[in-house]
Amino acid sequence: QQQVRQSPQSLTVWEGETAILNCSYEDSTFDYFPWYHQFPGESPALLIAIRPVSNKKEDGRFTIFFNKREKKFSLHIADSQPGDSATYFCAAMDNAGAKLTFGGGTRLTVRP
Amino acid sequence: DPKIIQKPKYLVAVTGSEKILICEQYLGHNAMYWYRQSAKKPLEFMFSYSYQKLMDNQTASSRFQPQSSKKNHLDLQITALKPDDSATYFCASSQDGTGGAETLYFGSGTRLTVL
Protein backbone atom coordinates (compact mmCIF):
# COMPACT_ATOMS: atom_id res chain seq x y z
CA GLN A 1 0.00 0.00 0.00
CA GLN A 2 1.25 3.45 -0.85
CA GLN A 3 2.39 5.35 2.21
CA VAL A 4 3.66 8.77 3.05
CA ARG A 5 5.27 9.25 6.45
CA GLN A 6 5.52 12.64 8.12
CA SER A 7 7.42 13.96 11.11
CA PRO A 8 7.30 15.46 13.62
CA GLN A 9 3.67 15.14 14.67
CA SER A 10 3.93 18.50 16.39
CA LEU A 11 6.45 21.31 16.24
CA THR A 12 6.78 24.54 18.18
CA VAL A 13 9.08 27.33 17.04
CA TRP A 14 9.57 30.96 17.99
CA GLU A 15 8.55 33.75 15.70
CA GLY A 16 11.35 34.41 13.22
CA GLU A 17 12.80 30.90 13.34
CA THR A 18 12.76 28.39 10.49
CA ALA A 19 10.35 25.50 10.88
CA ILE A 20 11.34 22.25 9.20
CA LEU A 21 8.75 19.58 8.43
CA ASN A 22 9.79 16.22 7.02
CA CYS A 23 8.24 13.55 4.84
CA SER A 24 9.28 10.29 3.23
CA TYR A 25 7.60 7.95 0.79
CA GLU A 26 8.00 4.43 -0.49
CA ASP A 27 6.39 4.19 -3.88
CA SER A 28 8.61 5.17 -6.81
CA THR A 29 5.57 5.87 -8.99
CA PHE A 30 4.85 9.05 -7.02
CA ASP A 31 5.78 12.04 -9.15
CA TYR A 32 4.07 15.03 -7.60
CA PHE A 33 4.54 16.18 -4.03
CA PRO A 34 2.34 18.97 -2.67
CA TRP A 35 2.11 20.43 0.80
CA TYR A 36 -1.29 21.43 2.11
CA HIS A 37 -2.02 23.46 5.20
CA GLN A 38 -5.15 23.39 7.30
CA PHE A 39 -6.20 26.00 9.83
CA PRO A 40 -8.52 24.98 12.67
CA GLY A 41 -12.07 24.52 11.46
CA GLU A 42 -11.12 24.96 7.83
CA SER A 43 -10.43 22.66 4.91
CA PRO A 44 -6.97 21.74 3.59
CA ALA A 45 -5.57 24.12 0.99
CA LEU A 46 -2.59 23.81 -1.33
CA LEU A 47 0.48 25.69 -0.11
CA ILE A 48 3.30 24.68 -2.44
CA ALA A 49 4.23 21.66 -4.58
CA ILE A 50 7.19 20.10 -6.38
CA ARG A 51 7.86 17.52 -9.09
CA PRO A 52 10.97 15.27 -8.93
CA VAL A 53 12.62 16.98 -11.90
CA SER A 54 13.57 19.66 -9.36
CA ASN A 55 15.23 19.29 -5.98
CA LYS A 56 14.06 22.65 -4.68
CA LYS A 57 10.99 24.82 -5.01
CA GLU A 58 10.60 28.23 -3.41
CA ASP A 59 7.57 30.42 -2.91
CA GLY A 60 8.24 33.35 -0.62
CA ARG A 61 9.05 32.06 2.84
CA PHE A 62 8.16 28.48 1.91
CA THR A 63 10.70 26.11 0.36
CA ILE A 64 10.47 22.43 -0.51
CA PHE A 65 13.69 20.42 -0.58
CA PHE A 66 13.42 17.13 -2.47
CA ASN A 67 15.79 14.14 -2.36
CA LYS A 68 14.71 11.59 -4.94
CA ARG A 69 17.42 9.07 -4.11
CA GLU A 70 16.42 8.91 -0.46
CA LYS A 71 12.69 9.38 -1.21
CA LYS A 72 12.48 12.26 1.21
CA PHE A 73 11.20 15.80 1.00
CA SER A 74 10.84 18.61 3.48
CA LEU A 75 9.10 21.93 3.90
CA HIS A 76 11.07 24.83 5.33
CA ILE A 77 9.14 27.83 6.59
CA ALA A 78 11.54 30.72 7.01
CA ASP A 79 10.89 33.63 9.36
CA SER A 80 7.94 31.80 10.90
CA GLN A 81 4.98 33.95 11.91
CA PRO A 82 2.22 33.25 14.45
CA GLY A 83 -0.19 33.26 11.51
CA ASP A 84 1.63 30.20 10.12
CA SER A 85 0.31 28.15 13.04
CA ALA A 86 -1.68 25.35 11.42
CA THR A 87 -1.49 21.68 10.57
CA TYR A 88 0.67 20.93 7.56
CA PHE A 89 0.20 17.82 5.44
CA CYS A 90 2.64 16.49 2.90
CA ALA A 91 1.17 14.39 0.14
CA ALA A 92 2.11 12.44 -2.95
CA MET A 93 0.39 11.69 -6.24
CA ASP A 94 1.31 9.26 -8.99
CA ASN A 95 0.69 9.63 -12.69
CA ALA A 96 -1.99 6.93 -12.77
CA GLY A 97 -4.63 9.20 -11.32
CA ALA A 98 -5.09 12.25 -9.16
CA LYS A 99 -5.46 10.45 -5.86
CA LEU A 100 -3.47 12.20 -3.15
CA THR A 101 -1.93 10.10 -0.41
CA PHE A 102 -1.41 12.26 2.66
CA GLY A 103 1.05 12.05 5.48
CA GLY A 104 -0.14 12.11 9.06
CA GLY A 105 0.28 15.86 9.47
CA THR A 106 2.45 18.17 11.56
CA ARG A 107 0.79 20.58 13.92
CA LEU A 108 2.92 23.71 13.84
CA THR A 109 2.73 26.32 16.57
CA VAL A 110 4.65 29.57 16.17
CA ARG A 111 5.05 31.44 19.44
CA PRO A 112 5.38 35.24 19.36
CA ASP B 1 -18.44 32.39 -2.69
CA PRO B 2 -17.55 28.79 -1.95
CA LYS B 3 -16.88 26.83 -5.11
CA ILE B 4 -17.36 23.43 -3.50
CA ILE B 5 -20.52 23.20 -1.46
CA GLN B 6 -20.98 20.47 1.12
CA LYS B 7 -24.22 19.93 2.99
CA PRO B 8 -24.90 19.69 5.82
CA LYS B 9 -22.02 21.26 7.71
CA TYR B 10 -22.85 19.28 10.84
CA LEU B 11 -24.73 16.00 11.08
CA VAL B 12 -25.69 13.91 14.09
CA ALA B 13 -26.96 10.38 13.50
CA VAL B 14 -27.85 7.37 15.60
CA THR B 15 -26.11 4.03 15.25
CA GLY B 16 -27.65 1.91 12.50
CA SER B 17 -29.19 4.78 10.58
CA GLU B 18 -28.41 5.96 7.07
CA LYS B 19 -27.28 9.40 5.93
CA ILE B 20 -26.37 11.11 2.68
CA LEU B 21 -23.65 13.73 2.48
CA ILE B 22 -24.07 16.19 -0.37
CA CYS B 23 -21.31 17.69 -2.50
CA GLU B 24 -21.56 20.06 -5.47
CA GLN B 25 -18.67 21.78 -7.17
CA TYR B 26 -18.78 24.84 -9.38
CA LEU B 27 -15.17 24.87 -10.55
CA GLY B 28 -15.91 23.16 -13.85
CA HIS B 29 -13.84 20.17 -12.77
CA ASN B 30 -14.27 16.66 -14.08
CA ALA B 31 -12.87 14.74 -11.13
CA MET B 32 -14.29 14.55 -7.63
CA TYR B 33 -13.18 12.83 -4.46
CA TRP B 34 -14.16 11.97 -0.93
CA TYR B 35 -11.69 12.10 1.95
CA ARG B 36 -12.28 11.37 5.61
CA GLN B 37 -10.54 13.10 8.50
CA SER B 38 -10.54 11.80 12.04
CA ALA B 39 -8.21 11.79 15.02
CA LYS B 40 -7.01 8.31 14.05
CA LYS B 41 -6.41 8.97 10.34
CA PRO B 42 -5.85 12.62 9.55
CA LEU B 43 -6.69 12.66 5.81
CA GLU B 44 -7.77 9.34 4.40
CA PHE B 45 -8.64 8.87 0.72
CA MET B 46 -11.99 7.16 0.13
CA PHE B 47 -13.12 7.46 -3.51
CA SER B 48 -12.24 9.17 -6.75
CA TYR B 49 -14.50 9.79 -9.73
CA SER B 50 -13.51 11.09 -13.12
CA TYR B 51 -16.17 12.04 -15.70
CA GLN B 52 -18.74 10.42 -13.39
CA LYS B 53 -16.95 7.07 -13.41
CA LEU B 54 -15.45 5.44 -10.33
CA MET B 55 -11.66 5.48 -10.66
CA ASP B 56 -10.48 4.32 -7.28
CA ASN B 57 -12.08 2.97 -4.14
CA GLN B 58 -10.02 2.63 -0.98
CA THR B 59 -12.96 2.12 1.33
CA ALA B 60 -13.17 -1.44 2.57
CA SER B 61 -16.78 -1.26 3.60
CA SER B 62 -19.68 -1.39 1.16
CA ARG B 63 -21.62 0.74 3.64
CA PHE B 64 -20.05 3.73 1.91
CA GLN B 65 -21.50 4.35 -1.55
CA PRO B 66 -20.73 7.40 -3.68
CA GLN B 67 -23.50 8.64 -5.95
CA SER B 68 -22.86 10.82 -8.98
CA SER B 69 -26.14 12.06 -10.46
CA LYS B 70 -24.54 14.95 -12.34
CA LYS B 71 -21.06 15.78 -13.49
CA ASN B 72 -20.59 18.31 -10.68
CA HIS B 73 -22.22 16.25 -7.95
CA LEU B 74 -20.72 13.47 -5.86
CA ASP B 75 -22.80 12.54 -2.86
CA LEU B 76 -21.81 9.97 -0.26
CA GLN B 77 -24.38 7.56 1.14
CA ILE B 78 -23.46 5.86 4.40
CA THR B 79 -25.63 3.03 5.67
CA ALA B 80 -25.73 1.16 8.97
CA LEU B 81 -23.82 3.96 10.67
CA LYS B 82 -21.37 3.12 13.45
CA PRO B 83 -19.77 5.37 16.08
CA ASP B 84 -16.41 4.73 14.35
CA ASP B 85 -17.78 6.50 11.27
CA SER B 86 -17.67 9.76 13.22
CA ALA B 87 -15.33 12.05 11.31
CA THR B 88 -15.23 15.07 9.06
CA TYR B 89 -15.88 14.10 5.47
CA PHE B 90 -14.30 16.31 2.84
CA CYS B 91 -15.32 16.44 -0.76
CA ALA B 92 -12.67 17.61 -3.23
CA SER B 93 -12.34 18.20 -6.94
CA SER B 94 -9.62 18.57 -9.57
CA GLN B 95 -9.41 19.24 -13.28
CA ASP B 96 -9.79 15.73 -14.70
CA GLY B 97 -8.32 13.13 -12.35
CA THR B 98 -5.63 11.90 -14.70
CA GLY B 99 -2.83 12.69 -12.28
CA GLY B 100 0.35 14.53 -13.04
CA ALA B 101 0.36 17.73 -11.06
CA GLU B 102 -3.32 18.26 -10.40
CA THR B 103 -4.36 20.48 -7.55
CA LEU B 104 -7.15 19.20 -5.37
CA TYR B 105 -9.56 21.77 -4.00
CA PHE B 106 -11.43 20.84 -0.86
CA GLY B 107 -14.90 21.72 0.32
CA SER B 108 -15.55 22.90 3.86
CA GLY B 109 -16.47 19.43 5.07
CA THR B 110 -19.37 17.70 6.82
CA ARG B 111 -18.72 16.84 10.43
CA LEU B 112 -20.56 13.60 11.18
CA THR B 113 -21.16 12.41 14.71
CA VAL B 114 -22.67 8.97 15.23
CA LEU B 115 -24.15 8.34 18.67
- pLDDT tens digits for B19-61? 999 999 999 999 999 999 998 888 999 999 989 899 888 887 8
- Encode A9-27: b = buried (16+ Cβ within 10 Å), e = exposed: eebebeeeeebebbbbbee
* C-alpha gyration radius of chain A: 13
Share of chain B above pLDDT 90, in %: 74
Q: What is the pLDDT of residue A74?
A: 98
Taking contacts as CB-CB distances below 8 angstroms, the residues of chain B near A97 are 48, 50, 55-56, 97-99
CB B72 within 8 A of CB A71: no
**pLDDT for res A2:** 62
Most confident of A26-35, B62-71, B105-114: B105-114
Q: Which of A32, A96, A98 sits opposite B31 (nearest CB)?
A: A98
* pLDDT surpasses 90 at A97: no
Give a three-class secondary structure readout of chain B: CCCEEEECCEEEECCCCCEEEEEEECCCCCEEEEEEECCCCCCEEEEEEECCEEEEECCCCCCEEEECCCCCECEEEECCCCHHHCEEEEEEEECCCCCCCCCCEECCCEEEEEC
**Average pLDDT for B104-109:** 94
CA distances from A56 to A64, A65, B79 (A): 6, 5, 45
For the cut 60, the answer to whether the pLDDT of residue A1 exceeds it is no
Q: How confident is the model at residue B101 (pLDDT cuts 50, 70, 90)?
A: confident
Residues of A with a Cβ under 8 Å from any B Cβ are 31-32, 34, 42-46, 49, 51, 87, 89, 91, 93-102, 104-105
Neighbours of B51 (CB within 10 A): 11
Identify whether B8 is preceded by a cis peptide bond (ω within 30 of 0).
yes
CB contact under 8 A, A100 and B45: yes
Contacts of A93 in chain B (CB under 8 A): 99-102
Instruction: Give the residue-averaged pLDDT of A17-28.
Output: 96
The pLDDT value recorded for residue B100 is 72
> What is chain B's mean pLDDT, rounded?
92
Percent of chain A with pLDDT over 90: 82
B102 with A104: Cβ contact below 8 A: no
A26-69 per-position pLDDT tens digit = 988 898 999 999 999 899 999 999 998 999 999 999 999 999 99
pLDDT > 70: what percent of chain A? 98
The confidence score (pLDDT) of residue A96 equals 76
How many contacts, defined by CB atoms under 8 Å, are there between A and B?
Answer: 71
Residue B90 has pLDDT above 80, yes or no: yes
Q: CB under 8 Å to A66, separation ≥6 — which residues?
A: A33, A50, A52, A54, A55, A56, A57, A72, A73
